[in-house]
Structure 1
Amino acid sequence: MTTDILSIASEVLTIEEKGLATLREGINEPTSQLSQAFRRTLSLIEQVKGRVIVSGMGKSGHIGRKIAATFASTGQPASFVHPGEASHGDLGMISEHDLVIAISNSGETSELSDLLLYCQRFDIPLVAITGGADSALAKAADEVLLLPKAKEACVETNAPTTSTTMTLALGDVLAVAMLRSRGFGRDDFKIFHPGGKLGAALKKVEDMVTDHRRLPIVSSGVPVSDALEVLTDAGFGTVGVVDAEGHLCGIITDGDLRRHMGIDPEKAPVDDIMTRQPKVVTRKTLAAEALNIMTAGKITSLFMVEDDKPVGLLHIHDCLSLGVI
């Protein structure tokens, strides 16, 4: 039984992989209908002053919701409008400044008819994602992103499987291509993702550094006993050592003290036991990158520096408490 199940799983993935490969070939071929329609669709989206409205029925609707959400999270205002609800008042959600992407594999979804007429009446750009080249949807659309012919993975019922996978991928391609053409970067992305693990990972160190009134800092040349006192009072497990100009030249951790138990802390200078050229971060370092530095170095704190001078301290708990992973 296990072998049969795994064989079925492999077969489904193979069929869908072939569908995606065919889709890629169609987009990559400059003279193909799909490639040309894809470029024109991107141009239409770039010109839209309102939102991208995505609509579809059934499985196409589920895919459409995800495509709209992806557009919205990558800087292009977008919404999903259910075609059934559109016929009962939600057409008012669509303005003449919007662009509509209608999804239907057959292109003959009756529930989309009122939406198509509305786009024609108010001259709203309409893009179709469909497998039906001669369908009613394709004929009504300004641009047709024609899905290539591909076998559905559910051969028994011909249920939407490969076709929905290709549609979802095509939506991702549109969103990412639009994102890159607009130069939409991490800082922009963070604005739309302030919460959750992704939002936390995109925070910068300056957004997370604890407001320490007094950084755990000692001057180069002072005895280790001074560093021990500061380390104990601060409770961060680390002390920074600065030179005469205030530049961070080293750090001392609990581990450094344990490894030098034989020294006389009243006489030995901090320079003898400090770790030189410590790992640091800047205000603009991403939280995820800072956490990776701490994890890789098996350390719990990083000094934030500006012009090589310590201006803050980031503790691993600052990252974990915000959900950075």
Structure 2
Amino acid sequence: MANPNPLMAKSSGTDPADAAIESALRTLDAEGSGIAAITAALQSDLRAPFIAATDLIKNAKGRLIVTGLGKSGHIGRKVAATFASTGTPAFFVHAAEASHGDLGMITADDVILALSWSGEQPEMKNLITYAKRFRIHVIAISAERESSLAKAADVALTLPKAREACPHNLAPTTSSLMMLALGDALAIALLEGRGFTSVDFSVLHPGGKLGALLKYTRDLMHAGDSVPLKPLGTKMSDALVEMTSKGFGCVGITDTRGHIVGIVTDGDLRRHMRSDLMTASVDDVMTKNPKTIGRDLLAGEALEILNSSKITALIVTDAGKPVGIVHLHDLLRAGVA
């Protein structure tokens, strides 16, 4: 007898690898639908409370205290870290530990952001009572508008209902991602509202690859006599000596005012290769108006210019005059690339 369900018939012959991919696609589809639901909610019922939540956090005299339990607690730790790294002082307090002394970490100037899908964890009770006693504002992220947590909160961010990616609709998957996404949305809204810049970001991220990307050109460039330079009218033989001795694969060309007007690179040598090249003037070989960067440019931006222009070195200028040079190898050594 033929199988009445063609999808079942197809899956029965699927090998384990294909089954894993199909499962992954179902998971991503389910979680994607959760994000889409938040997007729709922010344009309707979630709009006003989201604005109120950003105002509460922005105007707080103290810090943002993020709290939660279980998977919501794990998400809360990450959300707190995101806030802290983007200009909103924040840290995580475990809701259960709060009842055993950690309430002392929370002051009357703080704002509490409580995460709970059901909004009914008994461990939250003491924390909410404490908040009410000292008039600490509470923002709740929950899926239940009528939950104890949502009702006790000053602002309730009610997440739309969505099915978990788990086939049994039990393991927190879609719900966890939705909480994380809404937390990120709050953090970035505050970042943009405060005008938090990449310079501000660099102050809070001095270490690792991110810290390297946020260094300035002035921190990595070679300056003084290390910069390969020659004036207009120089013979190519002299320019080649300068290029070779400095080891950057190029030499900057300056005018009578000391401004950069050109550059001679290895590529220019290949393009102009001829018997009289060494007696020619750099004026005839150089690339005019070369790309340059300022000393206050972030290293990550310098790397982007090098990559997009397919070059390996950039002259650093100040008011048109060369003050340094940065090479791709300098970015590699600093951990930028």
Fold match by TM threshold 0.5: yes
2:32 alignment partner in structure 1: 17
Question: Relative to structure 2, which stretch is displaced further, 91-100 or 256-265?
Answer: 256-265
With the length of structure 2 as denominator, give the TM-score of the two structures. 0.90
2:66 alignment partner in structure 1: 54
SS of the aligned residue for 2:67 comes to strand
Q: Which of 248, 257, 262 in structure 2 is aligned with 1:250?
A: 262
1:215 alignment partner in structure 2: 227
Looking at structure 2, the residues matched to 100 and 17 of structure 1 have their Cα atoms a distance apart, in angstroms, of 28
SS of the aligned residue for 1:281 comes to strand
SS of the aligned residue for 2:306 comes to helix
Q: Give the ranges of 4+ consecutive aligned residues of structure 1 lying more than 3 Å apart after TM superposition.
A: 211-214, 254-267
Task: Summarize deviations over 1:81-117 as a string: whole Å, max 9, x none.
Answer: 1112212211111111110011111111122222111
1:317 alignment partner in structure 2: 329
Displacement of 1:68: 0.3
1:121 matched to 2:116: no
State percent identity of aligned pairs: 51
SS of the aligned residue for 1:174 comes to helix
SS of the aligned residue for 1:110 comes to coil
Q: Which of 290, 303, 309 in structure 2 is aligned with 1:297?
A: 309
Q: Using a 3 Å threshold, how does the CA distance of structure 1 residues 37 and 136 change in structure 2: closer, same or farther?
A: same
SS of the aligned residue for 1:81 comes to strand
Query: In the TM superposition, what are the counterparts of 1:217-296 in structure 2 within 5 Å?
Result: 217-264=229-276, 267-296=279-308
Task: Summarize deviations over 1:105-149 as a string: whole Å, max 9, x none.
Answer: 111112222211111111111111111222221222111111111
Displacement of 1:255: 3.8
1:88 alignment partner in structure 2: 100
Task: Summarize deviations over 1:239-287 as a string: whole Å, max 9, x none.
Answer: 1111111111111223433554534466322222222221211223332
Q: Using a 3 Å threshold, how does the CA distance of structure 1 residues 70 and 160 change in structure 2: closer, same or farther?
A: same
What amino acid does structure 2 have at the position aligned with 1:58? G
2:47 alignment partner in structure 1: 35
Displacement of 1:298: 3.1
1:4 alignment partner in structure 2: 19
Partners of 2:223 and 2:323 within 8 A in 1: no
2:3 alignment partner in structure 1: none
With the length of structure 1 as denominator, give the TM-score of the two structures. 0.93
Looking at structure 2, the residues matched to 37 and 162 of structure 1 have their Cα atoms a distance apart, in angstroms, of 22
Superposition RMSD on alpha carbons, in Å? 1.8
1:202 alignment partner in structure 2: 214
1:70 matched to 2:82: yes
SS of the aligned residue for 2:165 comes to coil
Unaligned stretches of 5+ in structure 1?
none
1:133 alignment partner in structure 2: 145
Unaligned stretches of 5+ in structure 2?
1-15
